[in-house]
Amino acid sequence: MSTDHHKQSFWTKYVFSTDHKIIGIQYGITSLVWLLFGFALMMVMRYQLAYPESPVPFVGGLLGDGGILPSEMYNSLGAMHGTIMIFLGVVPLAFGAFGNYFVPLQIGAIDMAFPKLNAASYWMYFVGSVIMAVGFFVPGGAANSGWTSYPPLADIATTGQTVWLLGMIMLITSSLLGSINILATVIQLRTEGMTWMKLPIFVWTQFITAFLLLLAFPPLEAAGVLQLMDRLAGTSFFMPSGLVVSGEVLTNAGGGSPLLWQHLFWFLAHPEVYVLILPAFGIVTEIIANNTRKPIQGYKSLVYSMVFLGFMSFIVWAHHMYLTGMGTSIGAFFQTTTMIISIPSVVILTALLLSLWGGSIRFNTPMLFALGFLPMFGIGGLTGLPLGLAAADIHLHDTYYVIGHFHYVVAPGTIFALFAGIYYWFPKMTGKRTNELLGKLHFFFSFIFMNGVFMPMFIQGLAGVSRRLWDGGEYYAHAADVLYLNEVMSMSAWLLGLSQLFFIINMIISLKGEKTGEANPWDATTLDWTDTTSPPLGHGNFETVPSVYRGPYEYSVPSASNDFSPQSEKG
Amino acid sequence: MTPEEVKHHIKTYVLVFVALAFLTVVTVAISFLDLSVGPAVVLALIVASIKGSLVACYFMHLIDEKVTIYWTLLATVAMFLVLMFVPLGTMLNHTQM
Amino acid sequence: MDIPFTVKNRPDTGLYNGKLGVWLFLASEVMLFGGLFSAYVFLRTGVDNWPVGAEILNVPLATLNTMFLITSSVTMVMSWASLKLNDFKKFKLYAGLTLLLACLFLVVKYFEYTAKFDHHLFPSTNNFLGIYFTMTGLHVLHVIGGIIVIFFFWMPGAKMWESDPERFTNRIEIVGLYWHFVDLVWIFLFPVLYLL
């Protein structure tokens, strides 16, 4: 396929582009918009939690019933917040945007292995997200059975659930095409000298993530098909016999198993959480190496840990199902694998922390977010341990403790890493610099308010406050002492939202700013920085395709004249 | 591949086809043996696996491929088996409803 | 600058990009049908009574269908071998036969399904029929997808043989891999649903 200069219309150059950099930006902008929207949904929910049954400001007009959030709509907001943040926000940004833009650059490739497939995967994501949005407008509103869509409830829920299933099928297909592309690209298109153990950790994380998505998503697609059959064709795959709904016995054939859905769902959804964290590990590693001016401690340990983590992630899923009445043998099996999987995570976090030791640390905005990631991920990971132990989970399952745990890993965890990546790679993508003051303000306020939102959740969870309660626990005596925290968390959430203005304004003024045209302002070692212009050439990325002679993090090599030695520089 | 190698492959394809046709007859014949569920399942899966392997190795040229594909398939088969059998484990010493 | 290894094999992996891509796709398909097989296993082991497939479904017709698919796999790989031997006419013949056999498969399935509906046997009737229709239905969709792609390369897409024969041959190889997989799924579906 020749990529010589042919006339391109606006549509082929920017809209239906097959260039991985444009597609990466398309994924990036779309996913950031969805992240904002998903955040907005949560801000409405938090108003109800802080001030139950009082009219919601600004959006009250949309809600009917005097501007108060109805309970079914609360459930829709909850289910869609989860779905949007995970499938329309974080994964497309971490994998679709960063992966597409930087994997080819870091391995010395002129594009992804299958550029047209790449464009197709973006547009399928876009269409899938539109379908999800449509759910809000159908009778009964958007899906409201949790992002986990458990039957029997999801089987008999309103039309929005069918829309959710159709949207998921589109999104899963998009994801599969993307995974195939990343895997084939990394395996086949590494430039000369780029051996597996010279790959930047960022590429390793994208590669492993792609494998997880490839093998784990299809069973959920199968389950989605089965749930669609239950809802549209009257089958009973997930419907047990003799179900009574609103006083009436259902007439379907029965004999189905709600547990079957849970197995198929969590078979994906557990590897999915590693999909959420692995790209973050990759981005943070790049930034820490660059801003300590020394090699990463334990490159091999990182690689082996991540590969092991990837494999283990497939055999821990039923720790989400400890309370389903499954037998003690299988519970013990999953508890064991779950405990084992915490080990590679600790190795990874330790390697990153040790990498700071003796470093010449530069506290720029990307580095602040990367450093902030470390303890936040630590808290998220540690709070996972009592959940992974079946006995403790009896008390904590389906409480706010769980919500606190997973938000710590994804929100001040992954999302901080993604912000770090945006600030780090902004100069490469645009040739311009971001404003450091605004970046630092964004970081400090986000850090404070993230903890303000999520730390109290552990307290509420330990007190026994259940998740997915429209009234935030108001009607339960055991919640009385910790109810005041709802207002604290909601205030923090709204202030966290306001803090994002620093980021939005920074992006706008920086994009309008002067082009410095610096190719490598961070003095980095990897091919994306050392062998491309800022931004990289439209066709083919490199003036000359580089060969690789060194590892990815050769900073402060004793004999070198600079404190960094590019991968493409001969030894 | 040289034309001679291709012609040799073609001979293999014909042999595999005959084997597959024969094994299809075997598959149906086994079902008339009136075995109990356990042995019936095992036998049917063994025959199906042999047929599948023939298709994979010779029609899909898996036998000529290098490691990359093998690693991919190994990981896939492992995950397939996990998906097949582990959920059943949840029924072992199940608490009665 | 062109993307490397689109036609020639990369030395260390022995693959061209498209072949790796389709194998990765097939890996995901194994997990997709695997999800459904897992559902079948889970549902069947969860109940005491499970219908006898041979009493409800038509075994002779399905055996015939199995032969159609197996033969179509042979004709598919022969169409690729013909291109390797530079015989475009033979390619057209074998690809055409593949399409014919695939369509015959669909015809048989049409008769099977309509016969069920005439006897008031629907997916909603019980879980055995539910999983039967779902699994064979998804398989049928894959057969249709295969027919569309093979037809494309048989007719309009065959132009590429003139401009880039090696790349065209590779594309037929890739399509063949997908088609063999469709056959492979049926090789397992047939005994599981009809004979066990």
- Domain range for residue B46? 3-65
What does the pLDDT read at residue A455? 98
What does the pLDDT read at residue A7? 67
Q: Is residue B55 part of a domain?
A: yes
Give the Cα separation of A525 and A286 in Å (integer): 10
Query: Which of C5, C12, C19, C28 should we substitute to test contact with A (largest number of A Cβ atoms within 10 Å)?
Result: C28
Question: For residues A417 and A399, is the Cβ–Cβ distance under 8 A?
Answer: no
Q: Is residue B84 part of a domain?
A: no
Q: Which long-range contacts (CB under 8 A, 24 or more apart) does C100-106 make?
A: C101/C68, C101/C69, C101/C71, C101/C72, C101/C75, C102/C68, C102/C69, C102/C72, C102/C143, C102/C146, C102/C147, C102/C150, C103/C147, C104/C68, C105/C65, C105/C68, C105/C69, C105/C72, C105/C143, C106/C140, C106/C143, C106/C144, C106/C147
Partner residue opposite C21 with nearest CB, options A180, A237, A539: A180
Q: Is residue B11 part of a domain?
A: yes
Give the Cα separation of C17 and A213 in Å (integer): 19
- Which tokens in the block code for residue C150? 């093979």
Give the Cα separation of A52 and A45 in Å (integer): 10
Domains and CATH numbers, chain C: 17-195 (1.20.120.80)
Task: Name residue, tokens 């059975």.
Answer: A145
CB-neighbour burial class of residue B2 (10 A; exposed 0-12, middle 13-18, buried 19+): exposed
The answer to whether C195 contacts B31, with C-beta atoms less than 8 Å apart, is yes
Mean pLDDT of chain C: 95
Q: Distance (Å) from the C-alpha of residue B96 to the closest C-alpha of chain C?
A: 13
Partner residue opposite B90 with nearest CB, options A267, A314, A330: A330
pLDDT, tens digit, 9 for 90 and up, residues C119-149: 999 999 999 999 999 999 999 999 999 999 9
Q: Find residue A142's DSSP bridge partners.
A: A160
- DSSP string for A349-416: HHHHHHTTTT------HHHHHHHHHHHHHHHHHHHHHHHHSHHHHHHHTTBHHHHHHHHHHIIIIIIH
The answer to whether A267 contacts B83, with C-beta atoms less than 8 Å apart, is yes
The answer to whether B24 contacts C76, with C-beta atoms less than 8 Å apart, is no
Give the Cα separation of B13 and A393 in Å (integer): 56
pLDDT, tens digit, 9 for 90 and up, residues B27-72: 999 988 888 888 888 999 999 999 999 999 999 999 888 888 898 9
CB < 8 Å to B91, chain C: 45-46
Q: Distance (Å) from the C-alpha of residue B94 to the closest C-alpha of chain C?
A: 11
Q: Find residue A248's DSSP bridge partners.
A: A245
CB-neighbour burial class of residue A324 (10 A; exposed 0-12, middle 13-18, buried 19+): middle
What value of ipTM does the predicted structure carry?
0.96
Give the Cα separation of C186 and C29 in Å (integer): 13
What does the pLDDT read at residue B10? 92
The answer to whether C34 contacts B10, with C-beta atoms less than 8 Å apart, is no
Chain C residues at the B interface, defined by Cβ less than 8 Å, are 13-15, 20, 23-24, 27, 30-31, 34-35, 37-38, 41-42, 45-46, 54, 59, 63, 66-67, 70-71, 73-74, 76-78, 81, 84-85, 176-177, 180-181, 183-184, 187-188, 190-192, 195-196
| E strand or H helix that includes residue A248 | strand A248-249
Question: For residues A274 and A307, is the Cβ–Cβ distance under 8 A?
Answer: no
Q: Is residue B58 part of a domain?
A: yes
CB < 8 Å to B42, chain C: none
The helix/strand/coil state of A64 is coil
**3-class SS letters over A532-569:** CCCCCECCCECCCCCCCCCCCCCECCCCCCCCECCCCC
Domains and CATH numbers, chain A: 24-239+254-530 (1.20.210.10)
Residue-by-residue pLDDT tens, chain A, 571 positions: 444 456 678 887 888 899 999 999 999 999 999 999 999 999 999 999 999 988 999 888 888 778 889 998 999 999 999 999 999 999 999 999 999 999 999 999 999 999 999 999 999 999 999 999 999 999 999 999 999 999 999 999 999 999 999 999 999 999 999 999 999 999 999 999 999 999 999 999 999 999 999 999 999 999 999 999 999 999 999 999 989 999 999 888 888 999 999 999 999 999 999 999 999 999 999 999 999 999 999 999 999 999 999 999 999 999 999 999 888 889 999 999 999 999 999 999 999 999 999 999 999 999 999 999 999 999 999 999 999 999 999 999 999 999 999 999 999 999 999 999 999 999 999 999 999 999 999 999 999 999 999 999 999 999 999 999 998 998 899 999 999 999 999 999 999 999 999 999 999 999 999 999 799 999 999 999 999 999 999 889 999 999 999 999 999 999 999 999 999 999 7
CB-neighbour burial class of residue A193 (10 A; exposed 0-12, middle 13-18, buried 19+): middle
What does the pLDDT read at residue B3? 83
What does the pLDDT read at residue A251? 86
What does the pLDDT read at residue A1? 41
The answer to whether A217 contacts C21, with C-beta atoms less than 8 Å apart, is no
Cα four-point dihedral sign B81, B87, B88, B89: positive
What does the pLDDT read at residue C48? 84
What does the pLDDT read at residue B93? 59
Tally of structural domains, chain B: 1
Q: Is residue B93 part of a domain?
A: no
The answer to whether C28 contacts A179, with C-beta atoms less than 8 Å apart, is yes
Give the pLDDT mean for C151-177: 93
Cα four-point dihedral sign A204, A383, A418, A296: negative
What does the pLDDT read at residue A379? 97
A549 — phi, psi (to 5°)? -125, -10
Give the pLDDT mean for C35-44: 94
Residues 251-270 on A with a CB inside 8 Å of C are 252-253, 255-257, 259-260, 263-264, 267
CB < 8 Å to C81, chain B: 6, 9-10, 13
The answer to whether B93 contacts A328, with C-beta atoms less than 8 Å apart, is yes
What does the pLDDT read at residue B68? 86
A142 — phi, psi (to 5°)? -70, 170
CB < 8 Å to B97, chain A: 325
Contacts of C152 by beta carbon, 8 Å cutoff, 6+ apart: none
Partner residue opposite B89 with nearest CB, options A211, A324, A333: A333
What does the pLDDT read at residue A3? 46
The answer to whether C122 contacts A233, with C-beta atoms less than 8 Å apart, is yes
Question: For residues A286 and A204, is the Cβ–Cβ distance under 8 A?
Answer: no
C-alpha dihedral (A198, A202, A203, A205), degrees to nearest 10: 120
Angle at A292 between CA A287 and CA A295, to 5 degrees: 85
The answer to whether A325 contacts B91, with C-beta atoms less than 8 Å apart, is no
Partner residue opposite C35 with nearest CB, options A222, A259, A539: A222
